[in-house]
């Protein structure tokens, strides 16, 4: 069973790590869970978390892809619903200024034209920045997942936060993707046969195998 929640979270974390590195945050720590209160954070840091309950919207199976194997066997990829997942991004900087730079970089990384996030080399040039983010989930049948985030207001830091130099910002959002499955089945193959008799073509004969 493919864990599409972890696939969506992992792909987003990988994307953010690369984009933030390119923005100058070399070696930024990417967390997959909320840090323990007693833990000293390595700053700057970002936590990519799946939160809340998923929302399922089932639909009749829709065929996405057929991959032929040997003989009449094949792999069929189909979707059976759409899923909405809740996500939260928490970022920390060692100073308010670093936090501001980090939040700008996160906003830029989560609002990218699909031409760039999907590396569509045959697409026409367009503006790099666009609302939302679309990534291909390589660990989940290669389906596309669209993300939307908004920065949330966070309470003012208390003296403890200033003392440990951990200044936080937060984003909330969701991810939308197809629920898909892959099954190996016997395929029905149509073979069209035509015969020529005295220069004339006889009606096609269809042979179904499988």
The per-residue pLDDT for range 25-61, each reduced to its tens digit, is 999 999 999 888 777 888 999 999 999 988 999 989 8
**DSSP SS3 for 103:** helix
Residue 187 lies in a domain: no
- What's the mean per-residue pLDDT of the chain? 84
Please give the C-alpha separations between residue 28 and each of 14, 31, 49, 92, 172, in angstroms, as whole numbers.
12, 10, 16, 10, 20
Percent over 90 (pLDDT), the chain: 47
Q: Specify the CATH number for the domain of residue 15.
A: 3.30.2000
- The confidence band for 196, taking pLDDT boundaries of 50, 70 and 90, is low
- The confidence band for 200, taking pLDDT boundaries of 50, 70 and 90, is low
pTM of the model: 0.80
Residue 208 lies in a domain: no
Residue 202 lies in a domain: no
Residue 125 lies in a domain: yes
The per-residue pLDDT for range 95-154, each reduced to its tens digit, is 999 999 999 999 999 999 888 899 887 666 666 677 899 999 988 888 999 999 999 987
Q: Which residue has the higher pLDDT, 146 or 156?
A: 146
**Considering its fold, how many domains does the chain have in total?**
1
Residue 69 lies in a domain: no
Residue 160 lies in a domain: yes
User: Which pLDDT value is given to residue 85?
Assistant: 96
Give me the domain span that covers residue 18.
Answer: 4-58+81-181
User: Which pLDDT value is given to residue 57?
Assistant: 93
Is the pLDDT at 1 greater than 60? The verdict is no
């Amino acid at each position: 069973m493919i864990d599409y929640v972890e696939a969506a979270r992992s792909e987003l974390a990988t994307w953010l790590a690369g984009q933030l590195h390119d923005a100058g945050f070399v070696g930024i720590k990417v967390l997959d869970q909320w840090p323990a209160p007693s833990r000293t954070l390595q700053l700057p840091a970002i936590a990519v978390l799946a939160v809340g309950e998923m929302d399922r919207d089932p639909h009749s199976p829709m065929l996405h892809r057929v991959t032929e194997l040997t003989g009449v066997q094949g792999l069929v990829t189909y979707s059976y619903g759409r899923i909405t997942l809740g996500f939260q991004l928490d970022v920390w900087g060692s100073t308010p200024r670093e936090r501001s730079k980090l939040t700008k970089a996160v906003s830029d990384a989560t609002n990218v034209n699909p031409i760039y996030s999907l590396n569509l080399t045959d697409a026409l040039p367009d503006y790099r920045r666009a609302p939302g983010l679309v990534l291909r989930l390589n660990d989940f049948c290669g389906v596309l997942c669209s993300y939307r985030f908004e920065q949330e207001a966070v309470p003012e830091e208390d003296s403890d936060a200033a003392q440990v130099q951990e200044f936080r910002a937060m984003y909330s959002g969701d991810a939308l993707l197809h629920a898909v499955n892959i099954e190996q089945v016997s395929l029905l193959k149509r073979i069209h046969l035509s015969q020529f008799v005295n220069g004339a073509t006889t009606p096609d004969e269809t042979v179904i195998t499988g």
